[in-house]
Structure 1
């Protein structure tokens, strides 16, 4: 009986296995779109227990520990992130099965999934229920998306894995011409990444973009994607493991990271120093709990300055340690090369000295 059941299961799964991956992706995306439409028709600001669905409504005060399990449901972006994580896990397993275990140790898988979880937590976790009420919460979200999540994602070496998964023929025919093109080389220049890291948050908060995002759902999530993209572009030359046309020497990496200091200082002071609330919509939200809008704005500025500078210092220390390790390895290689040129290894030379 068990053999018959396994035969039926295999017969049922065989046609599904023939369906290409892109078709499954499109099918899942259509389901996510349908779920979004259904949820929005149920209510303009639906709240299901501690699950806030497609809502920009003012939320009640958090009740701990229940607030820690709050989830904002947005099927389309959730599905896209989940699909990316699913593809990475399958590609990672494929690479290790084909002898790429040294290039892809398990810590790369943990780093990528950790970065994906951090994006999900910041965009759809407890903070997401309050990011239209408190500027400080919104600042924490954007800080995670542009500063913490990108290095974790890049530590997983997703682009290298993608190129491996393409195969030799498609890699040489499709990927390499693009990666070696002048426009791609110019766009991936570290100065472009630095400019994006500085301009994206500055223009987002200085122009009416932030105010508009409080009312427009597409712009709201587009801002999340823009911050994540700027962060990945900025950290790409620093985090090893992914193909790049720009290999920065360690002194240049440290100078590159030092540029974080004035950026975080400017953003922090922009919110901390004013004695008035910068965004009228946040000032007029009816709320009888939590810090005042002005104090909340100052919290946002202090967070950006203090935590941003602390993270920049930590990144500098990591690069300094890597630099020292590289110099030590270079010294060992020089010693071995010197001994080889003399015609004997250090141990052989010592043996001849003892015989003499």
Structure 2
């Protein structure tokens, strides 16, 4: 009886998440401010520049509700969380979601229009901080458990989805994922495209989506590679490639003799365009490169671990494995 009522409650919560997303999509205006919003005129206007972009708020709210529903259902049906999916994963997902909201909805979003340095802080959160936290949170496990049982079984039997995933699986390996992510960063940091993204809200939103999406692909490949020694070697190379290109791009920004991008005048903030660009390069080189360096060192440590001490994650990640746990 308890499982039946839990199943009914989760069904209602799942439907409520989708219904809330539809209501928000209807009520919130999409035409105004897709990405930048109104830039603050000075420091005194900064904290009044919060965003309500539905393209950000709706996915964040829906994914958080589904995650909470999946965790609740998992604990209610099994009496415990799965091995490898506990409080640490819940906290990682919550932190990643909060940082994603801060990067895209806080005054940092508006500040990124006049200041390239603020733009770079935003990119670091979207590329090197929020994505690894979200991947460590393993949201796909909770999301899958939040769905009705017949949906989960249908997904496990869907041959079309399996074929697509099998076709795209080479891109999810560490080195190809790093190259895709690197190409995305360099293309969007070309002066012409970067200036166009600053001037166009839709292009800026597309830039954010591609940065975040390819970063998720990269970090998922790297973190998943930690479970095996062979994959850890490829992940180490991927981290080194990403560290190298990030350092090169930051050096290009820091040591350029003139401003490469035609951003709005940052004079109200006490910086020239060149000083703002140099600060952006320094921000990129220190925290971002440090994150890639630490990730590479973790992979190197994984390679140095004796084979007898390898720890494999007992968490099933395939839908079919999760279905076995729920049956």
The 1:54/1:153 distance shift into structure 2, 3 A limit, reads: closer
- 2:261: which partner in 1? 279
- 1:36: which partner in 2? 29
- 1:62: which partner in 2? 43
The 1:17/1:88 distance shift into structure 2, 3 A limit, reads: closer
Q: In structure 2, what is the Cα distance between the partners aligned to 1:296 and 1:21?
A: 45
- 2:182: which partner in 1? 198
- Aligned residues of 2:254 and 2:279 also touching (Cα < 8 A): yes
CA RMSD after TM alignment: 3.4
> Within 5 A, what are the aligned runs for 1:228-267?
228-240=212-224, 248-267=230-249
- Aligned residues of 2:99 and 2:125 also touching (Cα < 8 A): yes
- Aligned residues of 1:250 and 1:323 also touching (Cα < 8 A): yes
CA drift of 1:194 comes to 0.9
- 2:111: which partner in 1? 130
Q: Tell me if 1:223 matches 2:207.
A: yes
Question: Structure 2, unaligned stretches of length 5 or more?
Answer: 1-7, 312-327
- 2:316: which partner in 1? none
- Aligned residues of 2:229 and 2:303 also touching (Cα < 8 A): no
The 1:85/1:162 distance shift into structure 2, 3 A limit, reads: closer
Between 1:156-165 and 1:77-86, the stretch displaced more is 156-165
Of 164, 168, 171, the residue aligned with 1:184 is 168
Structure exhibiting the larger radius of gyration computed from Cα positions? 1
> Within 5 A, what are the aligned runs for 1:288-307?
288-307=268-287
Of 129, 138, 154, the residue aligned with 1:170 is 154
Of 279, 296, 305, the residue aligned with 1:316 is 296
- Aligned residues of 2:35 and 2:53 also touching (Cα < 8 A): yes
Q: Which has the larger share of helix?
A: 2
Of 39, 54, 73, the residue aligned with 1:75 is 54
Q: Tell me if 1:93 matches 2:86.
A: no
Question: Structure 1, unaligned stretches of length 5 or more?
Answer: 1-14, 45-52, 332-356
CA drift of 1:142 comes to 0.9
Residue aligned with 1:259, SS: helix
The 1:148/1:180 distance shift into structure 2, 3 A limit, reads: same
Q: In structure 1, what is the Cα distance between the partners aligned to 2:37 and 2:13?
A: 37
Of 264, 268, 279, the residue aligned with 2:250 is 268
The 1:68/1:320 distance shift into structure 2, 3 A limit, reads: farther
- 1:160: which partner in 2? 141
**TM-score normalised to structure 1 length:** 0.72
**TM-score normalised to structure 2 length:** 0.78
Between 1:98-107 and 1:110-119, the stretch displaced more is 98-107
Residue aligned with 1:237, SS: helix
